[in-house]
């Protein structure tokens, strides 16, 4: 009842403000409340232009996001949670999509972040700040980068050996925040950046969010996590082990060797967005694991607000009788240190596991990715059907799981700084 009257009062005040503005021939106005944060322009009739202008007066640093997926807000959240972005120094501007706008506004308000949502790229013109940080690549980024009075910095949402980490758009940013020297060499060797540009534009900061996730939690320290990536788009960029039949045998081998108390399956948030048959593969895998390991607690952990979470929510999370023992959990952030070890594909999870010193086994689907894992301080299994692949047993050794992470991949130039101090130091350089 209290919430009902509060909404009525807000609507009433908005109507009064709009009436006064019309009488005074004011076309653009804004109402500031809730300790300086803005309510949505739709309620008060506030134009996005005015909201942006006022936001830019209060902040020198803006994080820009153009991503339709609801779960993308959690990729932004992890940068704030680890302390790299400070809510007092950094605001968020995002494109409002029908499917994700509610979760974005509620989550950012919950985090205490000042924000503004716009409906069209054309409304981004008033952004006048010192620095703009980008979490995702998009065409909208190009429109913002026409503003040469600001410094444009790509921070990303996870670094890996995927082809997506060699995006041509990287050439347009003023700076790229990368994990370490391996990332710099990868951009130079791929031809995305010239060698000198790679050295000048890339700032090696490690993985601040992986450090934050390194706070150990003994509650699930005996659990084993399997986190496959999504299906990808192009044939040369399909890294997911989920649709590969040999994955079942590989997981069985690892589980038998590790003998964990629990097994958690956490699919990528975008699983099934391109190929809905991935859900059938996931159900089949769960059914197989449940039949093979009746004494192990098996859980399906889904990212809040993700495509895969919506799929299983639509089914009301009621599996058939063959999957009745599978527990379904909805989670937000992923903390790798909560698990005894991690099974993953060639993805950002593999990189973060190496950096956060979490034992990892990498399931390799494509032969050209073997160069990445062979000789690295983690176990790997090559899921190949040809004679050269060696089958699902090649590469897996129990001792490999205890090796230290590869320092060369994730190494910060500012090793002793906290994420907050790291941000301060970086802004001095750019």
Torsions phi, psi for 292 (to 5 deg): -80, -30
Is the pLDDT confidence value at 133 over 60? yes
For residue 330, the domain's CATH number is 3.40.50
CA distances from 194 to 58, 154, 201, 206 (A): 37, 17, 10, 22
Which of the pair, 394 or 339, is modelled with greater confidence? 339
Considering the domain architecture, whether residues 253 and 105 belong to the same structural domain is answered as no
**Domain finish residue from 112, 138, 157:** 157
Q: What pLDDT is stored for residue 122 in this prediction?
A: 80
Considering the domain architecture, whether residues 221 and 149 belong to the same structural domain is answered as no
- Between CA 307 and CA 354 the distance in angstroms is 27
Considering the domain architecture, whether residues 383 and 238 belong to the same structural domain is answered as yes
Mean pLDDT of the chain: 77
pLDDT digits (tens, 9 = 90+) for 163-210: 777 888 899 999 999 888 888 888 888 888 888 888 889 998 888 887
Residue 303 lies inside a defined structural domain of this protein: yes
Stretch among 174-188, 224-238, 376-390, 411-425 having the lowest mean pLDDT: 376-390
Considering the domain architecture, whether residues 229 and 343 belong to the same structural domain is answered as yes
Considering the domain architecture, whether residues 152 and 220 belong to the same structural domain is answered as no
Considering the domain architecture, whether residues 246 and 335 belong to the same structural domain is answered as yes
Range with the largest mean pLDDT of 79-83, 156-160, 324-328: 79-83
List the one residue out of 352, 303, 388, 364 whose CA is nearest residue 158: 352
Q: What pLDDT is stored for residue 348 in this prediction?
A: 86
Residue 320 lies inside a defined structural domain of this protein: yes
CA distances from 249 to 168, 246, 344 (A): 38, 5, 15
Which of the pair, 144 or 25, is modelled with greater confidence? 144
Residue 361 lies inside a defined structural domain of this protein: yes
Mean pLDDT of 314-342: 71
Q: What pLDDT is stored for residue 317 in this prediction?
A: 52
The one-character DSSP state at 171 is: G
- Between CA 304 and CA 312 the distance in angstroms is 11
Stretch among 26-35, 79-88, 216-225, 387-396 having the lowest mean pLDDT: 387-396
Considering the domain architecture, whether residues 296 and 375 belong to the same structural domain is answered as yes
Q: What pLDDT is stored for residue 111 in this prediction?
A: 92
Residue found under tokens 């994700």: 100
Residue 423, SS3 per DSSP: helix
Name the residue range of residue 287's domain: 216-402
Residue 396 lies inside a defined structural domain of this protein: yes
Mean pLDDT of 271-282: 88
Is the pLDDT confidence value at 92 over 90? yes
Q: What pLDDT is stored for residue 47 in this prediction?
A: 64
Mean pLDDT of 13-28: 55
Straight-line distance from the first to the last Cα atom of the chain, in angstroms, rounded to the nearest whole number: 50
Which of the pair, 343 or 40, is modelled with greater confidence? 343
Count: domains in the chain: 2
Q: What pLDDT is stored for residue 413 in this prediction?
A: 55
Q: What pLDDT is stored for residue 175 in this prediction?
A: 95
Residue 419 lies inside a defined structural domain of this protein: no
For residue 101, the domain's CATH number is 3.40.309
Is the pLDDT confidence value at 44 over 60? no
Q: What pLDDT is stored for residue 319 in this prediction?
A: 53
Strand order across the beta sheet in which 297-303 lies: 327-331, 297-303, 262-265, 223-227, 341-345, 360-364, 379-382
Considering the domain architecture, whether residues 131 and 244 belong to the same structural domain is answered as no
Residue 198 lies inside a defined structural domain of this protein: no
Considering the domain architecture, whether residues 390 and 266 belong to the same structural domain is answered as yes
Residue 202 lies inside a defined structural domain of this protein: no
Residue 423 lies inside a defined structural domain of this protein: no
Considering the domain architecture, whether residues 134 and 249 belong to the same structural domain is answered as no
Considering the domain architecture, whether residues 260 and 385 belong to the same structural domain is answered as yes
> Would you place residue 349 in the very low, low, confident or very high pLDDT band (cuts 50, 70, 90)?
confident
Q: What pLDDT is stored for residue 358 in this prediction?
A: 80
Is the pLDDT confidence value at 55 over 60? yes
Is the pLDDT confidence value at 302 over 60? yes
Considering the domain architecture, whether residues 113 and 227 belong to the same structural domain is answered as no
pTM: 0.78
């Amino acid at each position: 009842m209290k919430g009902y009257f509060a909404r009525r009062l807000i609507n009433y005040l908005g109507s009064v403000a709009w009436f006064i503005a019309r009488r005074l021939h004011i076309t653009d106005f804004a109402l500031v409340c809730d300790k300086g944060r803005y309510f949505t322009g739709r309620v008060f009739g506030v134009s996005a232009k005015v909201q942006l202008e006022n936001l830019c007066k209060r902040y020198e640093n803006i994080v820009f996001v153009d991503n339709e997926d609801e779960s993308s807000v959690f990729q932004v959240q992890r940068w704030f949670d680890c302390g790299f972005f400070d809510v007092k120094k950094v605001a968020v501007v995002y494109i409002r999509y029908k499917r994700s706008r509610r979760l974005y506004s509620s989550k950012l308000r919950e985090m205490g972040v000042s924000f503004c949502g716009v409906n069209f790229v054309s409304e981004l013109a008033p952004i006048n700040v010192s620095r703009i940080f980008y979490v995702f690549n998009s065409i909208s980024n190009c429109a913002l980068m026409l503003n040469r009075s600001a410094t444009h910095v790509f921070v990303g949402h996870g670094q890996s050996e995927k082809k997506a980490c060699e995006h041509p758009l990287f050439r347009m940013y003023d700076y790229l925040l990368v994990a370490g020297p391996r990332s710099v060499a990868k951009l130079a060797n791929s031809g995305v950046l010239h060698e000198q540009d790679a050295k000048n534009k890339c700032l090696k900061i490690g993985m601040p969010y992986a450090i934050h996730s390194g706070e150990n939690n003994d509650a699930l320290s005996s659990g084993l996590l399997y986190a496959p990536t999504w299906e990808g788009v192009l044939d040369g960029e399909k890294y997911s082990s989920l649709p590969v039949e040999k994955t079942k045998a590989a997981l069985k081998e690892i589980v038998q060797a590790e003998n964990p108390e629990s097994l958690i399956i956490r699919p990528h948030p975008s699983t099934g967005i391109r190929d809905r048959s991935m859900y059938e593969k996931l159900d089949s895998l769960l059914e197989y694991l449940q039949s093979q390991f009746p004494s192990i607690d098996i859980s399906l952990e889904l990212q809040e607000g993700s495509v895969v979470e919506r799929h299983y929510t639509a089914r009301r999370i009621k599996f058939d009788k063959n999957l009745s023992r599978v527990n379904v959990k909805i989670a937000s952030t992923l903390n790798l240190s909560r698990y005894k070890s991690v099974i993953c594909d060639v993805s950002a999870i593999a990189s973060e596991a190496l950096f956060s010193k979490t034992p990892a086994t990498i399931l390799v689907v494509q032969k050209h990715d073997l160069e990445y894992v062979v000789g690295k301080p983690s176990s790997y299994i090559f899921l190949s059907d040809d004679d050269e692949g060696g089958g699902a047993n090649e590469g897996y050794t129990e001792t490999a799981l205890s090796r230290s992470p590869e320092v060369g991949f994730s190494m910060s130039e500012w090793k002793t700084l906290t994420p907050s101090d790291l941000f301060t130091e970086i802004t001095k350089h750019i």
